[in-house]
Amino acid sequence: MTGLRSRHTASEQEHRAAGDGKQKAFSPFGLFRPGSANICLCHLLVLTILLSPIALAFAILYAEPGGRWLQAHYHYLRTTIALLVIGIGTGGLMILLGASISSALMLAGLGLCATTVLLSYARSLLGFCSALRGSPLRNHRSYFI
């Protein structure tokens, strides 16, 4: 015999793998494993802005395990957080420099911070909705929406 054989038919194995028809209860620990629930949690953390480092830790930790779909979503999360950090940092620097140089520079820095926050919100909402539906992102390597 060259192949592996089982005494169970294929339908019996699928039935046994499914847990004999029992539905698994929702586990809160499922939020801390790679998957769409964790991606949704990370997008909600990015929406709070202050908890973005936790979302970044999840995105870095779970970047490798899983398929292409998960890798694309976690890459999208890391890009969103990077845009948020760069935009807020540059805008904050412009505000600080504008305090001593000119008020126009302060307003430009404030505008950059506001634009960055709005872009991050739009990206997070798009990522959240597509993860909730289980659909892939259009272009996860884009820096825009």
Q: Which long-range contacts (CB under 8 A, 24 or more apart) does 104-113 make?
A: 112/87, 113/87, 113/88
Report yes or no on 116 lying in a domain: yes
pLDDT digits (tens, 9 = 90+) for 8-36: 455 444 433 434 433 344 456 556 677 77
Q: Which domain holds residue 127?
A: 33-133
Would you say residue 85 lies in a domain? Answer: yes
Query: Phi-psi bin for 4: left (phi > 0), alpha (psi -120 to 50), beta?
Result: beta
- Identify whether the C-beta of residue 130 lies closer than 8 Å to the C-beta of residue 74: no
pLDDT in tens, 134-144: 877 777 667 67
Whether the full predicted model's pTM is greater than 0.75, yes or no, is no
- CA angle 82/85/91 to nearest 5° reads 135
Average pLDDT, consecutive stretches of 10 residues, N- to C-terminus, the chain (145 residues): 52 41 47 76 89 88 75 88 94 91 91 95 91 79 69
**54 belongs to a structural domain:** yes
* Maximum Cα interatomic distance, the chain, rounded to a whole number of Å: 83
Residue 49 covered by a domain: yes
Q: How many domains does the chain have?
A: 1
